[in-house]
Amino acid sequence: MECIREIPGIREVVLLHVVDTISSLKSGAGPGVEIEHVKGLVAQHEQILRNLGLTVQSNVDVMEIAVHEGTIGARILKTAERENVSMIVMGTRGKGLHDLFLGSVSTYVLHHATIPLLLVKSPGTEVAGVPANVPETQPVFSKLLIPTDFSAPAGDLLQFVKEIKEIEEIILVHVIPEEKNNPRLPEYISNATKKIGAIRDELVRAGFSVQDSIRTGYPPEEINLIAGQEHATLIAMSPLGEGWIRELKELFVGSTTYAVVRRADLPVLIVRPAQK
């Protein structure tokens, strides 16, 4: 809820909570009781948004679902399509690998969403290896870290970012997967330096302040490491890429994207390529 006020260009918020009737029956409360409880919580969230100074038109849709109607994630996507929203914003609890591969709601939406998805980890969530060091006073979209593998989907992400004029600084990162004793590593670094320099110059001409970095190592670790070192406020990624869909092929969203989301203590913006 705190993050919502910092989304550039926001005009309307659709608040949604999906009530799983099967789970509520198992708990003994019954769907009717839970729906009334949820309505009260949604009303509180509406007031929170108004207290943040936003002019909010809330379209609250509390739904009952049964097994045959699909997953909670599917209902979220259906509502997003029906309401013609421009972005989905979800919190993540950071439960780790178990959730990523066994059907958590955020993972389902990450895999299937066709519009931008902003995942925000709950404050205080423990993340191994990356300190929570983002100053609270910095807007979420002020300092973006953008990993790139120079693929077409990565290029689509950059075109999306160019439209966000509230960005104060962009950090471009390319990580070369480290291979021990690879004699071609200097060649890879040289080629990557030229490519990332061309992207940097393009963004500078568009009016952005940009710095770039070439790293070697395990991409998810390096991406999160530099995000912490540079005090980035948001990591923006494409879920697809020529260099990152290797181990899992077409079965999942790119493995690097999954790993970054799982490790990051920053909000992560996922932007899929435009539908053609």
Domain range for residue 70?
Answer: 1-84
* Domain assignment present for 207: yes
Cα R_g (the chain), whole angstroms: 20
* Domain assignment present for 104: no
* Domain assignment present for 70: yes
pLDDT tens digit string along 172-188? 999 998 766 788 889 99
* Domain assignment present for 117: no
Ordered per-residue pLDDT tens for the chain, 276 residues: 878 888 888 878 888 888 766 665 555 556 677 777 778 888 888 888 878 777 666 655 555 555 444 578 888 898 899 989 999 999 876 444 444 443 478 888 888 899 999 998 865 544 444 444 444 568 899 999 999 989 888 888 999 999 998 999 999 999 998 766 788 889 999 999 999 999 999 999 999 999 999 999 888 899 999 999 999 999 999 887 654 444 333 334 456 787 888 788 889 999 987 665
Do 149 and 80 belong to one domain? no
> Which backbone phi and psi does 154 adopt, to 5 degrees?
-65, -35
Do 41 and 153 belong to one domain? no
Distance of CA 36 to the CA centre of its chain: 31
**End position of a domain, from candidates 50, 84, 118:** 84
* Domain assignment present for 174: yes
Do 70 and 177 belong to one domain? no
- Residue 272's nearest CA partner among 157, 107, 146, 119 is 157
**End position of a domain, from candidates 43, 64, 84:** 84
pLDDT tens digit string along 246-270? 433 333 445 678 788 878 888 999 9
Do 246 and 147 belong to one domain? yes
Do 80 and 147 belong to one domain? no
Q: Report the CATH number that the domain containing residue 238 is assigned in CATH.
A: 3.40.50.620
* Domain assignment present for 123: no
* Domain assignment present for 109: no
Do 151 and 78 belong to one domain? no
Do 233 and 149 belong to one domain? yes
Contacts of 111 (CB under 8 A, 6+ apart): 252, 253
Q: Concatenated DSSP letters for 18-56?
A: EEEHHHHHHHTS-HHHHHHHHHHHHHHHHHHHHHTT---
Do 153 and 252 belong to one domain? yes
CB 22 within 8 A of CB 68: no
- Helix, strand, coil shares of the chain as percentages rounded to 5? 40, 20, 40
Domains identified in the chain, total number: 2
* Domain assignment present for 93: no
Do 157 and 256 belong to one domain? yes
**End position of a domain, from candidates 35, 53, 84:** 84
